[in-house]
Structure 1
Amino acid sequence: MTPDKIGFSFLIIGAFLLAGKFIRTRTKWLQNLFLPSSIIGGFLALSFGPDVLGRLTSQFLNENSIFYNGLLPEFILEVWRPLSGLFINVIFAALLLAKPVPSLKKIWNNSGPQIVMGHTVAWGQYVVGLLLTLFVLTPFFGMDPLTGALIEIAFVGGHGTAAGLSDTFALLGYAEGADLALGLATMGIFGGVISGIAIINIGFRKGYAKPQGERPTFSEEEKEQITESYGYDIEQEVKQPKAIEPLAFHLSLIAIAILFGYIFQQALIILEAYTWGAWTDVYLFTYLPLFPLAMIGGIVVQMIFGKLNLRNYIDPNLVSMISGFALDILLVSALATLSLDVIGDNIIPFLLISLAGIAWNLFAFLYLGPRMIPDHWFERGLGDFGQATGMAATGLLLMKIADPDNKTPALEGFGYKQIMFEPFVGGGLVTSASLPLIYQFGPVTFLIITTVVTLSFLVFGLVKFKPKK
């Protein structure tokens, strides 16, 4: 692969991003679904690839033709396939890099119920997925036991996590799992937005929440913030370093965070190799991807800057822009290389997993929400429901519709919740470790573990956070 071909492949990603943006601004229903331009561009690239247009061109062109498999030559797809595994590290390294961690007491007082509710839903997705896999998908459809982790990986983790775990899926002998996870993440976004808006309308009529005037209309800037950001932005004064360009400086911070993550990863692999791995022949950290440890590396960098009283040198807006750039590249490249054959060959299991995940999320929101969130359960629970079904931006969208003026503590609690949520599930350590855990110990053992954890959060939430009379 020559540098020219690699560079050209990145130029084509830019073209599809621009095309996705153009289509989004001209298509009202896509705007109403709040689909990011990168997802639209990714599916557009997929349609020009071998699984869609290539099916037609291969009927008329010679195999030696550059467009035999569609308008995307194979060398472009070769460059794009590994990008998701690389850029996911940038996204997670930046995730908490610019967010000063408040005290645990403040986090708990603001978002304790949402933290417990979020973990209950996320861990419960493993329980639902594993039960479905053990009793239906494996015996009747021959699905790999790793399928039991797909709901949590795709729904709470989203496209980024699903694509970022592609190397882990392949390493564990279940490469098609990454394609199924990407497809499920798309189903989650559609299901989360559509069912969430329907729930809001029903909730207003039932009196669960009071309408704050008419349904808000969003400016283009607000739509971009909702659909393409990871959450809330923190306003702060920034001292621009003069000895280095701000963009290069923040890229360097992210690089150092990833480097810290790599050091942690290698240390864990070496520790495992000379301790329990050698004693039991059970290896977990060998299969652990880099990105959750890169997130920890970002926290370390942020804490070092805090100790040196240099935290205001880290610009949250620049970090967010770098993360957003990496996410756009990841989404276009991952969706463009998605194998529709895998989804088509497993269409019934794919639909069953989708329905089971959405059903569990609806049950958790409508039944457990009022019993686990003592105040403003509807607005607070919408954020958890949106994140558990699609991504954090879906939760922001639903809360914005239900509470456009932020008259409830839902948005603030949702923001604080991420600090105690994302390092573990939704792409964190538990999400990335779930596949090797199932692989090494079997789905039944992991089902027992996740059931115990889910029940623990559930019982604690029901006892601790009883609704106020």
Structure 2
Amino acid sequence: MIAALLFVTFLLLVGVALRIRFGIFQWLYIPASVIAGMLGLAIIQLAPATAGGTAKAIAGTLSDWPNLLIAVVFAGMLLERKPTEHRENASNVGREALMVWIIVLGQTAFGLLATWIFIQPFYDLPNSFGMLIETGFAGGHGTAAAMGEVFAHESIALAGGRDLGILMATVGLVYGVVSGIGWINLGARRGWFPTNRADHLANETLQLDSVTPEPTSPPPRVPIGYATIRGETLDPLLLQTLWLMTAFGIGMAMQQAVLMAAAAADGWFASDTLRDAANQQLSTRLSFSRILDFPLFIYTLFGGLIVRRCTRLLGCEDRIDSDSIGRLSSAAMDVLVVAAIASLNLAAVATMIVPFSILAIVGAIWTGVCLLVISRWVLPRDHWFELGLINYGMSTGVTATGFVLLRLVDPDLDTDAAENYALAAPLSAPFIGGGMLTIGLPLLVLERVPLGMTSLVAVTTVIVLIVVGRRWQSTS
């Protein structure tokens, strides 16, 4: 444990140093955590025989971290709540929400379709394999870690599911930035955003081409949070950590309570009359214990909501500092990314590199179609490209990538793209791209319904949503 912690500390410090020193990482906007994770993976894989045992032990320890760290991240999601004060045209916000559903459901639909037509005839893989595009591209590293537990469920039994999801998220992150800059250059030449901002893009590109290490003059310092309690009572940051850990603890308690109740219910409804082995297996798989065996992060999500509501009832909600909770969650996410990438099981990934590549190519094609074609049909006409870029970044890695791309074409946020995206997020984020439908679809549907039927229904749904969006725009 201590060795793994020191190893991650070393990797992150080196990752930060490399990002500051080498302009290519800044130009590609690759986070230090991803650099650190890739470095850790290389060290573990290339470790000499004399240190092989230590490297394997560290990798084994790190492989357990993502499941706990993603639970911490989810614990902070509903605990960190900020009221939205923006006002925007409801039609624009609605069409942006619809566009996100089209993109993410399309990743699932075409992933399932590709699995059904091109992958399963040659590879013995579960239906849920088709979820990898949404898991890695739209979900990112956090969702990949969470879905690793889902893929490992005995009803799915996708060996290496977490490793494949992490790899897909890494591929999507790098691809999203590189291809996004390419699409921006195409947009500048095609006049998809105002000429004055295209001129800015040319200057920005020139600066990026000659990027140098970050300036020696320190940037303005801003606080990461605010004290909600006197220092002599308790360290303010420790108090925010306690709120987060309380949400985590409530989630663990909820999980245990649900599993105990499910076991008791199974005992009440158990029957000794089932002598046939097949019927016994069916009864076991339909038991409450199996159905309610959800990952810990689902429970810690509601743990954060419970802490927030309880502090409100007790009149001490102002003791929770959302900024500090957000920074703690982000820190957990950075460590999660390092641990997840460094502990990748390359042997498990290598055996499925061909079907994995098929899904990655399908995902890349679909996200490009969404940006260049469907966004023009659905999103507001005056800033469809700017808003489409945010969605493009979100759908190939993280929302931060989308805002990096937006900055290149709209540096002063002259359009309403950022506000549209922010206001529409609550209409999609809880459900897709790592939300409830992402988690529930493999567990409750995909392994119970024929894949051909599921994929055709999903593709039809996406087509219907596109038609609705196009008509919506024409009437706006």
2:31 maps to 36
CA distance in 2, matches of 1:190, 1:334: 16
Q: Is the alpha carbon distance of 1:109 and 1:134 closer, same or farther for their aligned partners in structure 2, counting shifts above 3 Å?
A: same
> How much has 1:168 moved relative to structure 2?
2.6
Is 1:281–2:276 an aligned residue pair?
no
- Residue 457 of structure 1 corresponds to 465
Q: Secondary structure at the match of 2:29?
A: coil
1:251 to 241, 245, 248: 241
Q: 1:92 to 1:108 in 2, by over 3 A?
A: farther
Q: How many residues align?
A: 440
Contact preservation (8 Å) 1:265, 1:285: no
* Secondary structure of residue in 1 paired with 2:120: helix
Give the one of 146, 150, 162 matched to 1:178.
162
SS at match of 2:121: helix
Report the more deviating stretch, 180-189 or 260-269: 260-269
Q: Deviations over 1:94-146 (max 9, x none)?
A: 23432335499969566322211111111111110100001111112333322
8 Å CA contact retained: 1:424, 1:430:
yes
**1:460 CA displacement:** 3.2
Alignment of 1:8-19 (within 5 A): 8-19=3-14
SS of structure 1 residue aligned to 2:52: coil
Q: What is the CA-CA distance between 1:303 and the residue it aligns to?
A: 4.5
The C-alpha deviation readout for 1:321-349, integer Å capped at 9, x for no partner, is 21121012111111111022223222221
- Residues 204 and 160 (structure 1 numbering): CA distance in 2 closer, same or farther, change over 3 Å? same
8 Å contact from structure 2 (residues 200, 409) kept in 1: no
Q: CA deviation at 1:402?
A: 1.6
Contact kept in structure 1, 2:225 and 2:324, CA below 8 Å: no
The alignment status of 1:387 with 2:369, answered yes or no, reads no
Establish whether residue 95 from structure 1 lines up as the match of residue 77 from structure 2.
yes
TM-score between both structures, scaled by the size of structure 1: 0.84
1:265 to partner: Cα distance: 4.7
- Answer yes or no: is 1:341 the counterpart of 2:336: no
- Residue in 2 that maps onto 1:229: none
SS at structure 2 position matched to 1:73: helix
Q: Where does structure 1 lack aligned partners over 5 or more consecutive residues? A: 1-5, 59-64, 226-232
Q: Percent identical across equivalent pairs?
A: 29
CA shift, 1:309, in A, is 5.7
Aligned partner (choices 91, 104, 115) of residue 133 of structure 1: 115
Q: CA RMSD in A?
A: 3.3
1:238, 1:314 within 8 Å by CA — same for their partners in 2?
no
| Higher Cα radius of gyration | 2
The CA distance in 1 between the partners of 2:92 and 2:74, in whole Å, is 24
The separation in 2 between residues aligned to 1:78 and 1:155, in whole angstroms, is 26
Consecutive unaligned residues in structure 2, runs of 5 or more: 270-281
Q: Tell me: CA distance 1:24–1:279, structure 2 relative to 1, closer, same or farther (3 Å).
A: closer
Residue 214 of structure 1: aligned partner: 200
CA distance in 1, matches of 2:113, 2:261: 33
Can you list the C-alpha shifts for 1:412-455, whole angstroms capped at 9, x where unaligned? 22222332222111221112223213234453454355345434
Q: How does 1:406-425 map to 2 (within 5 A)?
A: 406-425=413-432
Separation in structure 1 between the aligned mates of residue 227 and residue 450 of structure 2, nearest angstrom: 49
Matches of 2:406 and 2:322, distance apart in 1: 22
Deviation at 1:38?
Answer: 0.8
- Structure 2 distance, partners of 1:261, 1:45, is 31
Match of 1:202 among 174, 186, 200: 186
Please say if 1:78 is aligned against 2:63. no
**Corresponding position of 2:273:** none
1:364 matched to 2:370 = yes
Q: 1:320 corresponds to which letter in structure 2?
A: G
Tell whether 2:442 aligns with 1:435.
yes
Partner of 1:53: 46
Q: Structure 2 CA distance, aligned partners of 1:398 and 1:177?
A: 30
Shift in alpha-carbon separation, 1:269–1:465, aligned structure 2, 3 A: farther
C-alpha separation in 1, matches of 2:224 and 2:5: 32
Could you list the per-position Cα deviations for residues 5-60 of structure 1 after superposition, in whole angstroms to 9, with x for gaps in the alignment? x12321111011101111111221111111111111111011011xx314xx34xx
Question: Matches of 1:417 and 1:334 in 2, distance apart?
Answer: 30
What is the distance in 1 between the residues matched to 2:354 and 2:2?
A: 39
Measured at CA, do residues 104 and 84 of structure 1 come closer, stay the same or move farther in structure 2, by a change above 3 Å? same
Q: Distance in 1 between matches of 2:373 and 2:123?
A: 31
CA contact (8 A) 2:113 2:456 kept: no
Amino acid at match of 2:367: N
Cα separation, partners in 2 of 1:302 and 1:47, compared to 1, 3 Å: same
Give SS of 2:423's match: helix
Partner SS, residue 122 of structure 2 = helix
1:234 is displaced (CA, Å) by 12
Correspondences of 1:187-336 after superposition (within 5 Å): 187-210=171-194, 211-212=196-197, 213-215=199-201, 216=204, 239-240=228-229, 243-262=233-252, 265=255, 274=265, 281=286, 285-306=291-312, 310-336=316-342
Q: What is the CA–CA distance in structure 2 between the aligned matches of 1:24 and 1:41, rounded to whole Å?
A: 10
Describe the shift of the 1:85–1:235 C-alpha distance in structure 2 as closer, same or farther (beyond 3 A).
closer
Mapped contact 1:236–1:312 kept (Cα < 8 A): no
Secondary structure, counterpart of 1:458 in structure 2 = helix
Give the Å deviation of 1:237.
7.2
Structure 2 vs 1, CA of residues 78 and 465 (structure 1 numbering), >3 Å: closer, same or farther?
same
